[in-house]
Amino acid sequence: MNSLSFPEDFLWGVATSGHQIEGNNTASDWWAWEPGKIEGGLTSGRACDSWNRYEEDYATMQSMGLNAYRMGIEWARVEPRPSMWDDEAFARYEAMMESLSEKGIAICLTLYHWVLPKWVADQGGWENPATCDAFLRFTEEVVTRLGKYPLLWCTLNEPNVYTMFSYVTGEFPPEKRSLKAARTVTRHLLTAHSGAYSIITDSLGGSDKHKGPLIGIAHNMTDFVPASPGRLDRAISQYQARAWNSSYIKALATGVMPRPFGNGKPIPDLAGSFNYIGLNYYSRRTVVFRLNGISNGFSKEVYPEGTRFNDFGWAICPEGIYNCLLELGVLKVPVYITENGTADAKDTIRPRYIIEHLREVRRAIGSGVDVRGYFHWTFQDNFEWRAGYTQKFGLFGLGPADPELERTPRRSAEMYARIARANGITEDIIKEYLRE
């Protein structure tokens, strides 16, 4: 493997979400739901205590040479009760963004990362069309108070993952298993996105989408391939790729969400409601056809000989990110890798994982995809939803049982810092971190 350089002004960052790192998000639906549901018996609790320790974390990012940070704003913190805005919470978020700006770290702000205020969830959550209106009021408040800070706005994080886990497989709150409900939720999420796009654009950018703020979603994509050249395996891999990957791309481009998660009816103002797209990529799925239900995708996952896995059991496939980037390239807008990383407590997989995936990102750039930044998931070990603290995605290790919550740098943190400072992967980095 040869050295790789990236375009000038490329963003090198890390990605986080509020509920997973801030701690004590007590007015949220997840906080109420977690007891007895989380692997390992713990709840989000104080998480990484980033609500109080953000300054030291940002200083560490600056020392690493990072120039971007993807963060979330927790709706439940700033509106814990209907129309009751928490000025102190907004002031804390402004202090965070001011600190990042002073350090020369560009902000990608996520408005919705799976967590609702409990009062919204109690009123039906995303099944209730009134949630769209409430989300737009929240967006207006955020733009009014904090709009001068973000470079990138991410309205929704992985709407496909949220809808699948919350309304099809029933693993996340509200634990429903209803394709009908999933279609309703998908429509409302995309309606909320298009409305938020209009609010942000009208407030901050005027009518020219090419000169205003960058607004999009973070779209989770998986590289689906058939286990055999047989007709059924090919058909099911194509079906899953359409349902999981391309249906959302098509919806953003045309305003119509196709089945199975859409009803084929236009969503007002959705078409073209983005001027960048975020890619969250982790893994490839090699599938065979099985009549085992829609929650399993009518398939079984198999693993070719030589497949590598992370601690979560996800198959590692760097070339998959290249394939997904090519698919996003047809949108003809800037692309940012809004999440990419791996669960690896021993940090024996992560250095190679990062380098090999960045190689494929650079290959996509060479193929004409306008990739402008990479946000590694994540900065430090955090609360990984239902998996709790059992899966370690951080460049920095952190244990919830540690009373000091000390951030312990892993070898991959040093490597990623060197990549960011060099704006690429040097021969020395390759020799040091890819040696067997």
- Are 109 and 214 within 8 A, CB to CB? no
Q: Which DSSP helix (H) or strand (E) runs through 287?
A: strand 277-289
* Tens of pLDDT, residues 353-407: 999 999 999 999 999 999 999 999 999 999 999 999 999 999 999 998 899 999 9
d(CA 155, CA 193): 6
Say whether pLDDT at 207 is over 90: no
> Considering the entire predicted model, what is its pTM?
0.97
* Tens of pLDDT, residues 139-159: 999 999 999 999 999 999 999
∠ Cα 30 158 409 (to 5°)? 75
Give the domain extent around 207. 4-433
Smallest CA-to-CA distance from 46 within 63, 64, 25 is with 25
Residue whose structure tokens are 């995309």: 190
Domains: count for the chain: 1
CATH number of the domain bearing residue 163: 3.20.20.80
Say whether pLDDT at 208 is over 70: no
d(CA 163, CA 257): 14
Mean pLDDT for 263-289 is 96
Cα 383 to its chain centre, rounded Å, is 14
* Tens of pLDDT, residues 413-436: 999 999 999 999 999 999 999 875
Confidence at 205, pLDDT banded by 50, 70, 90 = confident
pLDDT at 344: 98
- Are 48 and 380 within 8 A, CB to CB? yes
